[in-house]
Structure 1
Amino acid sequence: MTDFAKSWNLSRGRLKAEIEGFSHAQMSYRIQPGALSVGEMVVHVAGVEIWFNSQLTGRELSPEEQRVAKSATEGVVNDNPFPFSDEEITPELVAWALDTAESHLRSNIENPSPEFLAKEIKSALGPIITGEGALARFAFHPGYHQGQVYLYKTSPDFPA
């Protein structure tokens, strides 16, 4: 197992634990106008994983997976609408997105091939990165959003 996979397992596990048992209202909570909701953040994490991995492997995505992959950028790093409405971002959709992304990525993050590590792709923020750069982002990204979810949970307006 790579060090990237160890960090990814830890940070992703903490993100999943942070949202465990969340209701639809909690998934829909946004701390202020213009901010991502909890559910949008988590679908975005899965979207980055699916999108980067598909670029690195050439894996074809189903229409549902393509929609999640769009959440890597749409409504996050640009002004386009997020690919899912608040009504659609249920705990079940969030769990499906995370599980799907994990099934795509796990073997590649645990035991990446030299070709995977060296391949160049476009990142969500625009720069060209290698597969190794993608692994570094995978390891960090869930932890970044787990911290945001924790802050949202401490807001006095967070739904009970």
Structure 2
Amino acid sequence: MHSQFSVAWGISRGRFVDTISDLSDEQMRWRSQPGALTIGEAALHVAGVETMFISQLLDLQLTPEQTRIKLCAVDGAVNSNPFPFKLEEITTKLALEALEMSKAMTEPVITHPTEEVLRKEIISALGPIITGEGALGRLSFHAGYHQGQAYLQRNAPGFPK
């Protein structure tokens, strides 16, 4: 049995991955306007938010690589700190690997959340304290939000072909 969150998460996340999987590294790094995330940065941000939420919900110790991905949840996306990866580091391979790592962490929890997870309080990417239920609700649409942005960027004037 799937949770109320997992079906929406699976669909929106799958569409996001489908939208970015065929992009070149140059396309992943293209910035539509100053201050906007590139598609690659958005992918790392999606993986970062999943990592941030699930690691708090399960009290996980993260590897240095996972910690760097987790920083993408906020740094350079929500606050004015620099993005944790330099533009030249961002590749399609890196983005897809980060999304695969965070999917492996998130899928079991969002599919079968325990009552303890649903009630647990964590810090959201935007700063407020939320419950696990609120976190899973946010994750269920988060990738879809960025999939829409990626679609618009792919169709924007000047996007590399």
TM range (shorter): over 0.9
Identity %: 51
Deviations 1:123-155 (A, max 9, x none): 010110000000000001000000000000111
In the TM superposition, what is the alpha-carbon distance from 1:49 to its structure 2 partner? 0.1
Give the Cα–Cα distance (whole angstroms) in 1 for the partners of residues 61 and 40 of structure 2.
Answer: 25
Secondary structure of the equivalent of 2:5?
helix
Question: In the alignment, which residue of structure 2 is the partner of 1:60?
Answer: 61
- Unpaired runs of 5+ residues, structure 2, are none
Match of 1:139 in 2: 140
Alignment of 1:1-160 (within 5 A): 1-160=2-161
CA–CA distance in structure 2, aligned partners of residues 50 and 113 of structure 1: 18
Q: Conserved in 1, the CA contact under 8 Å of 2:51 and 2:66?
A: yes
How far apart in 1 are the matches of 2:144 and 2:54? Answer: 19
TM-score, normalized by length of structure 2?
A: 0.98
The separation in 2 between residues aligned to 1:21 and 1:108, in whole angstroms, is 28
Counterpart amino acid of 1:118? R
* Deviation, structure 1 residue 22: 0.5
- How far apart in 1 are the matches of 2:67 and 2:136? 20
Residue correspondences, number: 160
**CA offset at residue 3 of structure 1?**
2.1
> What residue identity is the alignment partner of 1:46?
A
Cα distance between partner residues in 2 of 1:158 and 1:39: 14
Q: Is the 8 A contact 2:32 2:153 kept in 1?
A: yes
The ranges of structure 1 where at least 4 consecutive aligned residues each deviate by more than 2 angstroms after the TM superposition are: none
Name stretches of at least 5 consecutive residues in structure 1 with no aligned partner: none
- Deviation sequence 1:25-60 (CA, Å, 0-9, x none): 000011101111110001000000001100010111
Q: What is the RMSD computed on CA atoms of the aligned residues?
A: 0.6
Q: Which AA in structure 1 matches 2:78?
A: V
